[in-house]
Every structure is written in structure tokens, then in C-alpha cells.
Amino acid sequence: MILQQVFDGLTLGIVYALIAVGYSLVFGVLRLVNFAHGATYAFGAHIAMVVVVSTNFGLFWAIIISVIMTGLMTMFMDRIALRPLRAKKSKGISALITTIGCSYIIQNALMIVFGSRSKWFPKIFDYGNFQIGNVLVKSTQVGIITVSVVLLLLLTFIVQKTKIGLAMRAVQQNAKAASLMGIDVNRVISFTFFLGGASAAVAGSLISGYYQIVNPQMGFIAGLKAFSAAVLGGIGILHGAVFGGLVVGLAESFAAFYIGGGYRDAVAFIILIVVLIFRPNGLFGKKVIEKV
């Protein structure tokens, strides 16, 4: 029974990790919590749904299309709503409020286009179930874990080993200096938003394929939990976000089993509060020294 909870929790956790990474990427580069990320996740799931239901491309291509569309949508959001704020050197809080506004715009647009009720989503990686010892493993879960791990590795590779990743890290350390070194800061930020949106789209499609349901409000609580996962691991740090996601997923799974389904959501946040009391910068966070 415990192993079963661990496995179910890991499946859930790896998807939270995928969403949390999106928060961390944007925060790392911009020092901005992108509260539109949850809505982006719902957007990705809806695009995948509409492609798979209305065409015969199949789920794989639906997710690819969703990734591109969602990535472009977040880039567009940055271009029209956030870049003007940066250009005017406005306070961080304005950008934060703007992302909250964007989140509602995206969510309401989804409600207008797709209707506000829950809709069916085809099952993903459906090749039956098998038993390993006491643990019932669904092919869907294996697929989700595999795709997420590959994607997380890919994201880490992009950030750590590629030229654009180097540029991202440079902007993270000092945007002005990076710009003086010939880095097009706005292009780097756009790319970061694209990565964040793309990972949210994959997470949204995977989760919807797992639960076989989508609705426009799905991003709200998933976004909050992933955000707390990112903070738990130390926001801005990729492996921290992954670890945080896994902790939240496992905590939820155990809470639902041992305490009761009614308390699952609270547990993730209780853990967050406790961790922050002892490690205010998150588990992997470094202390930021404010220089005047």
C-alpha cells in the first residue's frame, strides 16, 4: 500500500515538477512570479484537446501543436503586456499584477471559447496495467513519468549547456551587463517564456490524459501547488523545483490515503510553511545578498 502511494505520488509529483520548472525559469531570469502560469497550463491542455478531438492527428501531434501554440501565446503575452513595463522600468509589483490579470484573461477566454464545464480528454499512453509486487502500475503513469523526466533533462541541458542557456544565466546574474556584452535581453526573455509555456502545455496535456478530463479552472489549484513546489525547492533553481514538485506530489498522495481525501490540498501548503520557517529561501535556495 505504501509503495502504491509512493508510485502514484511520484506520477503526480513529476507533473507538478514540470509546472514548477516553468515558474522557476521565468523567476530565475526576470525575478518575476508569473501567476499566469496556471492558466497557461489549462490553455495547453485545451489546445491539445481541441486538436485531438477535431482532427485525426492523434495525441502525439496534438501535444506538439499545443506546445508550439502555448509557447507562442506566452511569448505574445510577454511581448504585449510585460515588455512595455520593463521598458518603462516599472516596479516589480506592476508586472506581478499584470501576470495575475493575464491569468484571468486566459482563463476567461478559455471559458468563452470552450464553455466552462469539464470536458472529456482521451487517455494517454493507454497500453493496459501491470502489477509489480504489490504495486499496480498503469502504462499511462509510466508514459507520464518518462516524458516528464526526458523533458526535465532537456530543459536542464538547454539551460546548462547551450548558448541560449548561457545567455539566460547571464541575464539572470545581471541583465544590464549581459546586454552590454551583446546579448539581446528581450529575445532571451521571450525564449524563457516560450520554454515555460511549452513545459506547462506538456504538463497540462499529460495530466488531462491521465485524469481524462479538462476544464478552464484546472490551472488554478495546480498552478498554486506547483508554485509552492517551486518555492519549496528554492525558486529560480531548476533541480529545486523538481524536488519540490515530487515532495508536494508525494505529500498529497499520502495525505489523501492516510488522512482522508478532504485534506490533500492543505498538506502541500502546510509543508511549504514549515519548510519556509526553517529555510526561508527554500530547500536549495541560496541566500540573496542585497547590495545597495
Partner 1 sequence: MKKRIVLVALLSLLICGFAFANGSSETQKPVKIAVVGPLTGDFAEYGMGFKNAAVLRAKQINEAGGVLGGRQIEIVDFDDKNSGEEAASIAERIAGNKDIVGVVGHFASGVSMAAAPTYEEVGVPEISPSASHPDYSGMGKYIFRNNSLIDVEANETLNIASKVFKAKRVAVLAVKTDWGVTTADILINTLAKDHPELEIVGYEEILDGLTDFSSTITKLRSYKPDTIIVCAMYNILGPFANQYKDIDSKINLIGFSNAYSEQLIKLAQEDGNGIALPAIFFHESPEAKVRSFVDNYKKDYNGKIPSSLTAQAYDSLGMFAQAIEEAGSADRKAIKEQLYKIEYDGVAGVTYFDEIGDAYKTFNWLMIEDGKFTLIDKSKL
The residue range among 2-10, 149-157, 197-205, 270-278 that interacts with partner 1, by the rule CB under 8 A, is 2-10
Ranges within 246-285 binding partner 1 (CB under 8 A): 252-254, 256-257, 260-262, 264-265
- Is 31 an interacting residue with respect to partner 1 (CB under 8 A)? no
Q: Which one of residues 138, 151, 237, 242 is an interface residue with partner 1 (CB under 8 A)?
A: 138
Min dist CB 56 to partner 1, Å, is 18
Min dist CB 268 to partner 1, Å, is 12
- Is 117 an interacting residue with respect to partner 1 (CB under 8 A)? yes
- Is 1 an interacting residue with respect to partner 1 (CB under 8 A)? yes
Min dist CB 111 to partner 1, Å, is 8
Q: Give the Cα separation of 256 and 5 in Å (integer).
A: 9
Closer residue to partner 1, CB minimum distance, 239 or 264: 264
Give the DSSP H/E element, type plus range, for residue 105. helix 92-114
- Is 113 an interacting residue with respect to partner 1 (CB under 8 A)? no
Q: Give the Cα separation of 171 and 188 in Å (integer).
A: 8
Q: Give the Cα separation of 284 and 13 in Å (integer).
A: 17
Map residues 193-232 to x or -, x wherever contact with partner 1 holds by CB under 8 A.
--------------x---xxx-x-xx--x-----------
Encode 229-292 in three state secondary structure.
HHHHHCCCCHHHHHHHHHHHHHHHHHHHHHHCHHHHHHHHHHHHHHHHHHCCCCCCCCCCCCCC
Q: Give the Cα separation of 289 and 21 in Å (integer).
A: 23
Min dist CB 141 to partner 1, Å, is 9
CA atoms within 13 A on the CB side of 127: 8
Q: What is the DSSP letter of 253?
A: H
Q: Which of 156, 181, 193 is nearest to 80 (CA)?
A: 193
Min dist CB 262 to partner 1, Å, is 5
Contact at 8 Å (CB) between 140 and 210?
Answer: yes
Whose cell is 509510466? That residue is 142
Min dist CB 160 to partner 1, Å, is 32
Residues that bind partner 1 (CB under 8 A): 1, 4-5, 8-9, 11-12, 111, 115-120, 123, 129, 136, 138, 207, 211-213, 215, 217-218, 221, 252-254, 256-257, 260-262, 264-265
